[in-house]
Structure formats: C-alpha cells, structure tokens
Amino acid sequence: MSLRIKKLTPNAIIPTRGSGGAVGYDLYSTDSVVVPPTHRALIGTGIAMVLPNGVYGRVAPRSGLAVKHGIQVGAGVVDPDYTGEVKVVLFNHGDKDFEVKKGIVWLNSSWRDVRHPKLRKLVQLRTLREARVVLDPRVPKSIELVTVPQ
C-alpha cells in the first residue's frame, strides 16, 4: 500500500512519522495564523494526496494541543476521491490566542479502511436494552435488530 503525496507549494512539508511506533503522520502548516479563543481558522498544508483504494484519511489534533490549548479539529475526514489541497479547520476552545506557525507540526493524520455495509430499512428501531445484534450469514456485513426475549 502506498500513499502518493504532491507538494502544491514550495514550502510544503511531506508528512512524517514521529517514531517507528507512531500510528499517524504529522502534518505541517503552510500558513501562519493566530486563532483567537472561541474562533476557528482554515489552515493549509500545501499538499494533495492520492489515497490507496479502500482507505480514507482521518485528521486529528495532537493530544498535547488538545489538552494544553483546547485545540480541536473540525471536518477531519479526507475522502478517498478528494485530490485537492488538504486543509483543516482548527477550533480554539481555549482561553488564549493559539498561534499556528508555518512549518510546525500541529496535527496527526491516519488512514483507515473504508467499509460500506448493505443498508436494510427497518420499520421500527428498538432500544439497545430491547435489542441484540444478529448477523445474517446470507447477507455479508448486514445488521438486523430483533427483540431479546425477557
């Protein structure tokens, strides 16, 4: 499996892994932006990518930024058919300005398998206490809710 990356700007940095055990790839900002408390900003990475078949990208805040500064990510899914610049919405839930500096690691990205189960229309949806999941061996990856006997 390979992830193909294209630099869209000369100052873009190709994502890297912080260690051999890291799940995510670090993303780097091509913008210098100050995000005031209770505000959001769209931050560019200067890269585009071609994802492997059956995979989508997931962008998440670094845990230290979330804990120390209240930084969260909005719209963190990179669809497999999206080939434009990867940009990320950052929310500042902290009480101080948050400065995004050009070339600094500020997000993690990871790649996950895409699965599209067959959808089955139900007439009534029971509560979890009244239901259990039954896998129908005749229909792969289907889910049906049934009443659990008392």
- Beta bridge pairs of residue 74: 89
Q: Strands 40-44 and 87-92: what pairing?
A: antiparallel
Amino acid at 15: P
Burial of 79: CB neighbours in 10 Å, binned 0-12, 13-18, 19+? exposed
Residue-level pLDDT at 116: 81
Residue-level pLDDT at 130: 47
User: CB-based contacts of 56: which residues, under 8 Å, 6+ apart?
Assistant: 77, 78, 79, 80, 111, 112, 114
Q: Strands 144-147 and 131-134: what pairing?
A: antiparallel
Residue-level pLDDT at 76: 85
pLDDT 10s digits, 1-15: 788 999 999 999 999
pLDDT 10s digits, 106-143: 777 888 888 888 888 877 766 554 444 555 555 555 44
- What distance lies between CA 50 and its chain's CA centroid? 15
Res. 96: pLDDT tops 80:
yes
pLDDT 10s digits, 40-82: 999 999 999 998 888 898 898 888 888 999 999 988 889 989 9
User: CB-based contacts of 77: which residues, under 8 Å, 6+ apart?
Assistant: 56, 57, 58, 59
DSSP structure string for 5-26:
EEESSTT----B-SSTT-SSEE
Residue-level pLDDT at 23: 84
Domains of the chain in start order, with CATH, are: 4-113 (2.70.40.10), 117-150 (no CATH)
DSSP-derived 3-state class of residue 90: strand
Single pTM value for the model: 0.74
Q: Please indicate whether residue 37 or residue 64 has the higher confidence score (pLDDT).
A: 37
